[in-house]
Structure 1
Amino acid sequence: MPKMKTKSSCKKRFKVTASGRVKAGQAGKRHGMIKRTNKFLRNARGTTLLSEPDAKIVKSMMPYNR
Structure 2
Amino acid sequence: MPKMKTNSSAKKRFSLTGTGKIKKKGAYKSHILTKKSTKQKRNLTKTSYVSDGDLGNVQRMLCIGK
Q: Normalising by the residue count of structure 2, what TM-score does the alignment of the two structures yield?
A: 0.81
1:40 matched to 2:11? The reply is no
For residue 24 of structure 1, what is the aligned residue in structure 2?
Answer: 24
Distance 1:63 1:4 in 2: 7
**Runs (5+) with no aligned partner, structure 2:** none
Which amino acid is 1:8 matched to? Answer: S
Q: Normalising by the residue count of structure 1, what TM-score does the alignment of the two structures yield?
A: 0.81
**Runs (5+) with no aligned partner, structure 1:** none
1:1-66 matched pairs, under 5 angstroms = 1-64=1-64
SS in 2 for 1:35: coil
- Please provide the CA RMSD for this pair: 1.9
**How many corresponding residue pairs?**
66
